[in-house]
Structures are given as C-alpha cells and as structure tokens.
Structure 1
C-alpha cells in the first residue's frame, strides 16, 4: 500500500468515525498531494508524497509560531493537532549519529573541501534524509563541518 493510499484510507476511516478535526487535517493533506499531482501532471510516488507532507509540516510549524506571536491559542492548538497527525506518516527519524555518518559519507564521496561544495553534499543527502531529518538542521551541520 502506498503512502497516498494509506492517507486516503485513513480519511475514509475518519469519515466513518465522524472525527471532524482528523477529517479536516487529512483532507488538507490529500488536497496538497492532489494539487502537486495536477500541477506537475504526474502521479506521486512515496518519496514525492513525503516531500509534500514535509512541506505541510514546515508550513504548520511556521503557522504555529505566527499564531503564538499573535496570541491565538485556539489556532495554535489546531495546527499542533494537524502537525501531530501528519508526522505519523513520516518514517522513523534518524539519530544524530546516523545523520553525522551520512554527512561524512557525502563529504567523502564528493571530495568537498569548502562551503562552496555544500550544494553537492545536500543533493546527495536530501533523498536519503527526506522526511527523516530536519533539513535546516542538516544544512547547519554540513556548513559547520565544512568550516562555514
């Protein structure tokens, strides 16, 4: 069963259970997936679906921060519930040790010597870490390793 199918099945189950907050969150996610498929005229595989989920999670985190600054506790709670639901579809996160090992392997594979080579390293790391690590933190680790 693909990740997209799992999301659809979970949406159907939420409808049967009449769980409106879960229905809303899953519909939003399904709509984001469908929007990308229509825009790019493709059928998303699991890796591409994960990138859509990642994007939704990132947007939710940014929204939580903005709502918190604005004093909107009700919207913060809703976004946090959506975020928790969407994170359940992500694969098991990698540990810092595993991430550091992948960074070291990528640096060695590319022969990177300075921050100028960061793009090459990130191109290797992104498919391996998609949905399993915060890419902003990975970027910071790579930059620190390269002396930037």
Structure 2
C-alpha cells in the first residue's frame, strides 16, 4: 500500500470513529498533496509525499515556536497535536551513529577535503536521508567532519 493510500484509509477511519482532530489534519495533508500534484501536473510518489509532510512539519514547528514566544499555549498545543499526527507518516528516523556512518561513507566516496566539496556530499546523502534525519543537523555534522 502506498503512503497516499494509507493516508486515505486513515482519513476514512478517522471519519468513522469521529476523531475530528485527526480527520482535519489528514484533510490538510491531502489538500497539500493534491495542490502539489495539480501545480506540477504529476502524481506524487511516496518520496514526494514525504517531502510534503516534511514541509508541513517544519511549518508547524515554526508556528509552535512563535506561539510559545507569544504565550499562546492553546494554539501551540493544537500545532503539537498536528505534528504528532503528521509524524506518524514519516519513515523511521535514523540513529546518530547510522547518520554518522553514512556521512563518513559519503565523504570518502566523494573524496571531500574542503567546504567546497560539501555540495557533493549533500547530493549523495539527501536521497538516503530524506525524511529520516534533520538535514540541518546533518549539514552541521558534515561541516565538522570536513573542517577537521
């Protein structure tokens, strides 16, 4: 079953059980997926759906930060619930040691020795780590390894 099919099935289940929070969050996700499909005139595969979910998660995390700074904990809690629902569709996250091993492998594969080679390393890692690691954190780890 593809990720889009799973999302549709979860939507139906949420409607049957009357779980309005999950239903509404899944509707937002489906709308974002459909919007991207219409804009680009393509049918999204699982990797592209994960990219949509990642974008939505990032937006929600940014909103949580802003709401908490403004002392709007009620709105922050709503966003946190949406993050929990959306996170269920993400692939299993990699451990720090697995990420470190992939970074080391990519650096040796590209013979990266300076910061100018960072793009080559990221190009190799991005498909392997999509949805499974925070790319900002990965970027910082690569910088540390290349600069030392």
Report the counterpart of residue 19 of structure 1 in structure 2. Answer: 19
**TM-score normalised over the length of structure 1:** 0.97
Unaligned residue ranges in structure 1 (runs of 5+): none
Report the counterpart of residue 71 of structure 1 in structure 2. Answer: 71
Q: 1:139 deviation in Å?
A: 0.7
**TM-score normalised over the length of structure 2:** 0.97
Alpha-carbon separation, structure 1, partners of 2:89 and 2:33: 13
Q: 1:18 deviation in Å?
A: 1.3
Alpha-carbon separation, structure 2, partners of 1:51 and 1:92: 14
Q: Report Cα offsets for 1:47-80 as digits up to 9, x if no partner.
A: 1111111111111110100111111111100100
Alpha-carbon separation, structure 1, partners of 2:125 and 2:66: 30
- Is 1:92 the counterpart of 2:107? The answer is no
Equivalent runs, 1:57-136 vs 2, <5 Å: 57-136=57-136
Unaligned residue ranges in structure 2 (runs of 5+): none
- Is 1:6 the counterpart of 2:6? The answer is yes
Q: Report Cα offsets for 1:121-141 as digits up to 9, x if no partner.
A: 111111111111111100110
Q: 1:43 deviation in Å?
A: 0.5
Q: 1:120 deviation in Å?
A: 1.1
Q: Report Cα offsets for 1:15-40 as digits up to 9, x if no partner.
A: 11111111111111111111111111
Alpha-carbon separation, structure 1, partners of 2:61 and 2:117: 29
Q: Secondary structure at the match of 2:147?
A: coil
